Each structure stands twice: as structure tokens, then as C-alpha cells.
Amino acid sequence: MKKIDVDMKVKFLRGFSDKTRIQILEAIKTEEKTVSQIVKELNGNQSNISQHLTCLKGCGLIVGRQEGKYVFYSLASEQIRELLTMFDVVLGDVQNQVACCERHLD
């Protein structure tokens, strides 16, 4: 397995470090959706959601598929889906410690 630079890992993880981006990833975890569908599901505004979609796409976490005038967004790979699931598994084990962590408050 190729060794990945730690700075690259940090940059990759920043794609997951925003509440809206996590909500978007969760929204498209099982099925592709358009911007309008994501906006409606998250009760967000289109400009903000579009900016986050651009970030996620630029980081390689999602892909867009053009169909007529609509772009359908989905996770870029099964590994991203598995990673999101693994976040839930690990968080289930450490959520009490995370809840008590005072270093990374939001």
C-alpha cells in the first residue's frame, strides 16, 4: 500500500470537517440527488449548498452526472460510502468522549 503524506490526509479530512458537507454526503449516501433535492432535504439555501458541492467535488468525494438540465450528485466511490459508515461505527464507540471534548467546540 502506498504511503500517503500526512498533509494530504489532513486536506482530505477537511472535506468532512463541515456540518453542511457531512449532511450533503449523508443525503447522497444511498442515492444520487439534484441540488434542488439536496437543498430541500437539508432545508438550506441553494448558493450555500452549491458551494459545498463544489468543494466536495473538488476533493474527489462526490461526482456529478448531467442529465438534461439537471446534475445528479452521488458519492465518488463505494469506499467513501464505507468511510461514512465507519465514521458512524467508530463514533458509536467514542461518542461520550467526543461529547466531553472541550478542545474542538463548535
Task: Give the per-residue pLDDT at 94.
Answer: 86
Task: Give the per-residue pLDDT at 106.
Answer: 54
SS3 at position 2: coil
Cell numbers 465518488 correspond to 76
Domain residue limits at 88: 6-100
> What CATH code is carried by the domain that includes residue 95?
1.10.10.10
Task: Give the per-residue pLDDT at 14.
Answer: 87
pLDDT tens per residue, the chain (106 residues)?
778 899 888 888 888 989 999 999 999 999 999 999 999 999 999 999 999 999 999 989 999 999 999 999 999 999 999 999 999 999 888 888 878 887 765 5
SS3 at position 65: strand
1 belongs to a structural domain: no
For the chain, what percentages of helix, strand and coil (3-state, to nearest 5) are there?
Answer: 60, 15, 30
Task: Give the whole-angstrom CA distance, residue 9 versus residue 95.
Answer: 22
- Count of the separate structural domains present in the chain: 1
105 belongs to a structural domain: no
Task: Give the per-residue pLDDT at 10.
Answer: 87
Enter the pTM of the model: 0.87
